[in-house]
Structure 1
Amino acid sequence: MKLFSGPAVAGRKVLITGAARGIGAALARQLHAHGAAVALLGLEPELLAEVARECGDAPWRYCDIGDPAQVERVVRTLASELGGLDVVVANAGVAKQLALIGGDPSVMEETLAVNVLGVYYTLRAAGPHICHPQGYALIVSSLAGVVNLPLAGAYSASKAGVEALGHTLRNEIRHTGAKVGVAYFAELDTDMTTRGFGTAAARAILGRATVSGVAPLGPAIDATERAIARRRRQVVSPWWVAVVLPFRPLAQRVVDAALRRGVAEALEIARTEDAPLTTDQPTRPRRMERPA
């Protein structure tokens, strides 16, 4: 049963990145159930194949979104198998805590490679297919890109970058009739929340694993479906995120004041704590150091 009135997603051709689990998998299942044709890409073939079966044997491909040539090839193939694209949901991302001083720089490099460059490569590849009057790109940013917490610097920087890509793309493709939306989610009940930031270091700062408490995934998926149906500029979940967004500076000051204690201890823990990336990534060569 639809929870909203207005344009439906039935008949839309939707490409979803990061579709093996979490937001991507749940969104694919719901859009398929409501009549959309979905195509899936991600890094976990067994999980992708399972989601694809639940979506009427939807087309899917393994894809490292940090590899621009692979993204170009896979998006072209999936668009062809769907018979075109109406929507791309740039959802794939990773998260891992990082102490900016003394932490492992590879965490920052990997996070930016997936969350920023991967989104850029996805939009670059899918853009020609969605640049039509019914086209829509939805870019998954985060409340973390707006209000920044200790140990989340890599993730926050990446999600702020993703937001900037979305606003820029909106202006660049407006003349085609296509629209662009940016999603801002708080801490949802996904692996990204539990694995990426549900750590001993985070608990040392907050007294628990999250700032606002883990919100259920269902309302976020409903809100995302509404955004796709109506090609909305913005989607949030939980609802209160919409109240925070216009007051970013004030929200940051509140967070700064609230998190004065426990940060030094948390940084010491974070520098040695073995916190995994939310999804294991392909091994990429480290950038070569320039000679002095």
Structure 2
Amino acid sequence: MRRGPLSGRTAVVTGAARGVGAALARELAARGMRVALLGHEGDRLRRLAGELPVPALAHEVDITDDAALAVAADSVRTGLGTPSVVVANAAVADAGLFADSDPARWRRIIDVNLTGSAATARTFLPDLTATKGYHLQVASLAAIGAAPLMSAYCASKAGAEAFAHSLRAEVAHLGVAVGLGYLTWTGTDLIEDADRHSVMRELRGHMPWPVRDVYPVDRAAARLALAVERRSMAVYYPRWLRLAQPVRAAMPAVVTRAARHYLPRIEARSPLRHTDLLGGGGTADAKATGAS
């Protein structure tokens, strides 16, 4: 463990059972933080908690359930102390044409990625106010430039970005900092699962370099941990993603023009069948909520 400004403090990470959340928990623990791991998949959360070199707590919870989140927060305060860092990382995704989308699944993606992020912030805001802490909302390139075949995910991430901007303005005078972490395709099991579906494999394949590349999850987590340490307003991984911000107003027209050409070609080769929720996290969320 490294001694530094985060050492001895408590962090909460949602969606911590796998992927970016689990990797970030390890990074924060390496910086000496006590870490509360929230999400589905209790066995994975408990196993990760046991592997960390710091006091850690695993709490299985649906972040869209306000009452359950309140119980989780009490557990964190009792077990680890008042949180001074909260990372809203939990997210789910599917892919396919909006016209073919399942309405319940579409709403669930919005509920987890946007409403769940807001519920997380609401639950822990008293703690962040007391500690003059830091809230990090994990966003996405999808918040900057929406892509076809991912309407619910893009809408939810754009909404989470706007929510974080609004929250930042409301709590700045209280000494609470709010940051946004922008990631692109990251090497989690969600992306591995996505690439098994022709609709997602084709979508990513038609994106320009370097947007279509998949980047290491550990490096993404290290960038987010550095943002926590510095209380950054925004962090980008990979770094070139920052360049999308100045040109985001032009991106819808560019994406539409490109999609008009490549979507018919994709569909001619393979039907654009809609996926279920992607990855192990998506499967766990569907199982926990009884979704098909």
Q: Same fold (TM over 0.5)?
A: yes
Shift of 1:161: 0.7
Q: Percent identity among equivalent residues?
A: 35
Shift of 1:33: 1.6
Q: 1:266 to 1:201 in 2, by over 3 A?
A: farther
Where 1:101 maps in the other structure, the secondary structure is helix
Q: Which moved more, 1:141-150 or 1:199-208?
A: 199-208
Larger relative helix fraction: 2
Name the amino acid aligned to 1:232: S
2:72 is aligned to 74
1:277 is aligned to 278
2:113 paired residue among 87, 112, 115: 115
1:30 is aligned to 27
Q: 1:198 to 1:245 in 2, by over 3 A?
A: farther
Q: Tell me the distance in 1 between the aligned counterparts of 2:196 and 2:213.
A: 11
2:57 paired residue among 52, 56, 59: 59
Shift of 1:284: 5.9
2:103 paired residue among 102, 105, 111: 105
Q: Which moved more, 1:132-141 or 1:145-154?
A: 132-141
Q: Tell me the distance in 1 between the aligned counterparts of 2:190 and 2:257.
A: 26
Where 1:108 maps in the other structure, the secondary structure is helix
Q: Tell me the distance in 1 between the aligned counterparts of 2:87 and 2:72.
A: 15
Q: Which runs of 5+ in 1 are unaligned?
A: 287-292
1:230 is aligned to 230
Q: Tell me the distance in 2 between the aligned counterparts of 1:183 and 1:260.
A: 30
Name the amino acid aligned to 1:31: L
**CA RMSD between the two structures:** 2.5
1:247 is aligned to 247
Q: 1:1-292 residue pairs with structure 2 within 5 A?
A: 8-55=5-52, 56=54, 58-132=56-130, 134-196=132-194, 199-207=197-205, 211-264=211-264, 266=266, 269-270=271-272, 272-278=273-279, 279=281, 280=283, 281=285, 282-283=288-289
Name the amino acid aligned to 2:14: T
Q: 1:173 to 1:197 in 2, by over 3 A?
A: farther
Q: Which runs of 5+ in 2 are unaligned?
A: none
Q: Tell me the distance in 2 between the aligned counterparts of 1:277 and 1:45.
A: 19
Q: Tell me the distance in 1 between the aligned counterparts of 2:265 and 2:162.
A: 33
Q: 1:242 to 1:87 in 2, by over 3 A?
A: same
Name the amino acid aligned to 1:80: T
Where 2:5 maps in the other structure, the secondary structure is coil
**Partners of 1:96 and 1:197 within 8 A in 2:** no
Q: Which moved more, 1:153-162 or 1:32-41?
A: 32-41
Q: 1:174 to 1:132 in 2, by over 3 A?
A: farther
